[in-house]
Structure 1
Amino acid sequence: MAEFSSYEIKPLSDVTEKHLLKGVNLYLVGMMGAGKTTIGRILAKRLKYRFFDTDVMIEQLAGKSVSEIFAESGEEEFRQIETNVLSELSAYTRLAIATGGGIVLQRQNWSYLHHGIVVWLDVPIEQLYLRLKGNTTRPLLQTPDPLQKLQTLLEQRQNLYAQADVRVRINGSAPPSYVASRVLEEIDRKIKPGDRRSPK
């Protein structure tokens, strides 16, 4: 696993980054607040990929916010829409995709995720709490004890996140550009060219 001890890292060359995944999609998984959207945008730019956020796509498709979907239709309905969105995205190539924190819960979703490279952005619970404290847009955190809720969610999902191809531990103070560099470095180090999925 990768862990941050210094913020100095030699970036891969532009040519290496551009051809690193050979067009295969990159899926970022991890807890809410892990920085998947921020890191995903940076990675998309460096890989010359298009960027998508599944939560944003769900909101566009449903015509309402994630919070409204949870409140009006429940989590089960949200998860079904999430699976539909993931299915559509998996039909394309050269995408960097930030996924929702619970996307790993549905077994069917893994059939789509495994068409690409899956990266787990692993952030300490305490750092997640500091980032999310007071956030009213996260329906699963609207509880008297959001820190305990985060811990419970991580316990439920940790073994599923661990199925990712690459796990990157993130120090809360690490700059997003540095995290993106580490993601690319870990992919290059851990996933050999012959192991990479082929685009559809």
Structure 2
Amino acid sequence: MIQPEEAERLRGVTVYLIGMMASGKSTLGAELAAQLRRPFFDTDALVEQVAGCSIAQIFAEQGEAHFRELETQVLAQLSGYTRLVVATGGGIVLRPKNWSYLHHGLTVWLDAAPELIWQRLKRDPGQRPLLQTPDPQAALQRLMQEREPFYAQADVRVPIHSEASPSQLAEQVWQAICARLRAQPPCNR
């Protein structure tokens, strides 16, 4: 458990979790926010609230471009606040404009192993519009290759190779954040 005085090392900086779908951003984000005693937001959930329908419906009825625009709008709003933990959608890193918002905080890449992501996705196959193809595993590989250079721009990288509890992952992420803060303290972005 992260102690309140430890959490203050972040000052007012928001933590943005980035990474592939099914890397654990939402689950871990909620746990990390609870331990840091900060509000938690999930950009995908907020996009669904704004649109009044599911992400799958947005993709089906209005297309990916519309979804990405809503995602950018949500991120722009969140970037105006401090002391948050934000789980982002997997493709949020693709738009340069989004990086201008992500740079308002500390970006943490949850670099989950491809096998782990695939195992998680097989448990919930119908909820990922970008994988609705004849070969979803190949689509996933393509997305991972396309996005990895963008994820690599994160302030902190946390490799995840196996299943762990949210509290264990939160501790792992916190240790990686602390290492980054020791190397380069935040400047109240």
TM-score, normalising length from structure 2? Answer: 0.95
Runs of at least 5 residues in structure 1 that lack an aligned partner in the other structure:
1-10
Runs of at least 5 residues in structure 2 that lack an aligned partner in the other structure:
none
Instruction: Say which SS state the counterpart of residue 115 (structure 1) adopts.
Output: coil
Instruction: Find 2:150's aligned residue among 149, 154, 160.
Output: 160
| In 2, Cα distance between equivalents of 1:197 and 1:88 | 21
Equivalent residue for 1:36?
Answer: 25
Instruction: Find 2:89's aligned residue among 92, 100, 119.
Output: 100
| In 2, Cα distance between equivalents of 1:194 and 1:167 | 15
Over aligned residue pairs, what C-alpha RMSD do you find?
Answer: 1.4
Equivalent residue for 1:68?
Answer: 57
Q: Which amino acid aligns with 1:78?
A: F
| In 1, Cα distance between equivalents of 2:177 and 2:18 | 14
Instruction: Find 1:182's aligned residue among 169, 172, 178.
Output: 172
Tell me whether 1:112 sits opposite 2:139 in the alignment. Answer: no
Q: Which has the higher helix share?
A: 2
Equivalent residue for 1:3?
Answer: none
The alignment of Structure 1 onto Structure 2 pairs a total of residues equal to: 188
| In 2, Cα distance between equivalents of 1:17 and 1:36 | 22
Alpha-carbon contact 1:129-1:146 (below 8 Å) kept: no
Alpha-carbon contact 1:123-1:170 (below 8 Å) kept: yes
Q: Deviations for 1:41-98, whole angstroms, at most 9, x for unmatched residues?
A: 0110111110000000000000010000001111011000000000000011111000
Tell me whether 1:18 sits opposite 2:14 in the alignment. Answer: no
Q: Deviations for 1:152-186, whole angstroms, at most 9, x for unmatched residues?
A: 00100000000000000012222221111011111
Equivalent residue for 1:123?
Answer: 112
User: After the TM superposition, which of the residue ranges 56-65 and 126-135 deviates more from structure 2?
Assistant: 126-135
Alpha-carbon contact 1:26-1:117 (below 8 Å) kept: yes
| In 1, Cα distance between equivalents of 2:113 and 2:72 | 27
Instruction: Say which SS state the counterpart of residue 12 (structure 2) adopts.
Output: coil
Instruction: Say which SS state the counterpart of residue 17 (structure 2) adopts.
Output: strand
Q: Which amino acid aligns with 2:117?
A: L
